[in-house]
């Protein structure tokens, strides 16, 4: 079985990257591959609770799409990136798992494909 880590470092709505990255992970999971998503840098905004993109600007809600990773994929959120942006674990969707730099290193080493989008 192949494995991938999709790394998203751009905030949702302003750019298409978050949405497109999550789609890659979801389709990989559907194909029976292991796939996880890592939000880092401005990408961590994709994990914020209560996003209203659908109602306000007519864009698909990234926070709702993220739930499709569950239960086979994991949504990792880079701890340093949320701290630097004044965010807390409680601000994030329930499926978010915080990851520190050392664990991140081991995680990326364990994956066959790194998809940085």
Binding stretches for other proteins (CB under 8 A): 2, 4, 10, 15-17, 20, 23-24, 27-28, 30-31, 33, 112-117
CB 55 within 8 A of CB 26: no
Q: Which two tokens stand for residue 70?
A: 């569950």
CA dist 108 and 114 (Å) reads 7
CB 18 within 8 A of CB 24: no
Beta-bridge mates of residue 7: 38, 116
- Cα–Cα distances in Å, from 14 out to 28, 46, 57, 100? 25, 11, 11, 26
Question: Least CB distance from residue 27 to other proteins, whole Å?
Answer: 4
Question: Least CB distance from residue 61 to other proteins, whole Å?
Answer: 16
- The nearer residue to other proteins, 27 or 83, going by C-beta atoms, is 27
Question: Least CB distance from residue 7 to other proteins, whole Å?
Answer: 9
- The nearer residue to other proteins, 28 or 40, going by C-beta atoms, is 28
- The nearer residue to other proteins, 49 or 116, going by C-beta atoms, is 116
Question: Least CB distance from residue 15 to other proteins, whole Å?
Answer: 8
């Amino acid at each position: 079985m192949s494995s991938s880590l999709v790394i998203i470092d751009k905030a949702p709505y302003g750019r298409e990257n978050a949405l497109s990255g999550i789609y890659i992970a979801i389709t990989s999971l559907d194909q029976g591959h292991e796939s996880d998503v890592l939000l880092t840098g401005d990408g961590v905004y994709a994990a914020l609770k209560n996003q209203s993109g659908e109602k306000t600007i007519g864009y698909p809600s990234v926070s709702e799409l993220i739930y499709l990773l569950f239960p086979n994929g994991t949504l990792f959120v880079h701890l340093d990136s949320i701290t630097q942006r004044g965010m807390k674990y409680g601000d994030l969707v329930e499926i978010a798992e915080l990851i520190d730099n050392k664990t991140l290193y081991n995680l990326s080493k364990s994956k066959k494909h790194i998809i940085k989008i």
